[in-house]
Structure 1
Amino acid sequence: MKALSLIITLLLSVTFSFSQEEKTGQSITVTIENITNNNGNVLLSLHTEETFMKGPGIQNLESKIVDGKISITFDNVEPRTYAIMALHDVNENRRMDFEENGMPKESYGMSNNPISYGPPQYAQAKFDLKNEDLEMKIVF
């Protein structure tokens, strides 16, 4: 009986400790509405200047596509300057695929929706996250 009481107490304390978790940053909600089909997933990554085009972001998310749209939220993001990259990973191989001539086979986009002729540039995609939640749309 003593062991049962201890187990119940531990379960309740763990449950309440998770439910009281504090928000430690802001939220960035990204919506993409012009996805050409529902095949595969959309991969999104939140980057600082140090991580941009150099590998995984500081947060990486994935979303299923429903009716050509996604909406996903990066949570607990500290205020500073970031850029977001998004990729429609049609074949779910978790990377961008290219044609023989070097052009991307899959749709992609970035924060600020810059028109890019060449590799994505952090300076064109960067935005400042202040002390309030942010919503943005990315266009493929």
Structure 2
Amino acid sequence: MKTLALFIALTLTAIFGYSQDKSETFTITVKVDNPLNDNGHVLIGLHTVDTFMKGQGVQNAKEKVKDGKVIITFENVTPGDYAIMVLHDENDNQRMDLEANGMPKESYGMSNNPMLYGPPTFTDAKFELTESKEIVIRF
């Protein structure tokens, strides 16, 4: 009987211990401190490798520029690898406008602030979320 009680107690401890690890979430505060003007909104997307450059992120935000800055916070984010993409949508058409040669007309940026000479990749912008963090993105 003692063995059965011990087995049940250890099993329940393992199950509850594992479920607490899975439910741990963090916050990501994103600051954009150099928009060129206060026109339109800044669109911010939190992406995984599966959503990067393919549309909406796993969480998205739209914020007006105030005093030359934008600050938003993504909450309840599970640990993992993410990238943040930011677009200053000056004309509020919900997409990036391009020149005839394919170059962006509107300012954009991403986590890690990489200097790119071509389309961004998830690897360029990727960061590992293991604790709450603050990320500053520059256009």
Class of the TM-score when normalised by the shorter of the 2 chains: 0.7 to 0.9
Aligned to 1:98: 98
Aligned to 1:44: 44
- Structure 1 position 127, deviation (Å): 0.1
1:1-140 paired onto structure 2 within 5 Å: 25-130=25-130, 132-140=131-139
Deviations 1:29-73 (CA, angstroms, capped at 9, x unpaired): 000111000000000000000110111100011111012110000
Flag the 1:62–1:24 CA change in 2: closer, same or farther, 3 A: farther
- Structure 1 position 120, deviation (Å): 1.1
Output the CA distance in 1 between the equivalents of 2:66 and 2:121.
Answer: 29
Output the CA distance in 2 between the equivalents of 1:50 and 1:44.
Answer: 17
- Given that 2:34 and 2:68 are in contact with CA atoms closer than 8 Å, whether structure 1 keeps it comes out as yes
* Larger gyration radius, structure 1 or structure 2: 2
- DSSP 3-state at the match of 1:60: strand
* Unpaired runs of at least 5, structure 2: 1-22
Output the CA distance in 2 between the equivalents of 1:89 and 1:66.
Answer: 14
Normalising to structure 1: TM-score of the pair? Answer: 0.81
- Structure 1 runs of 4+ with >4 Å offset: none
Output the CA distance in 2 between the equivalents of 1:73 and 1:40.
Answer: 19
Output the CA distance in 1 between the equivalents of 2:115 and 2:92.
Answer: 25
Give the count of matched residue pairs. 117
Output the CA distance in 2 between the equivalents of 1:62 and 1:120.
Answer: 21
Normalising to structure 2: TM-score of the pair? Answer: 0.82
Question: Which AA in structure 1 matches 2:136?
Answer: K
Aligned to 2:10: none
- Structure 1 position 85, deviation (Å): 0.1
Task: Note the aligned Cα RMSD (angstroms).
Answer: 1.1
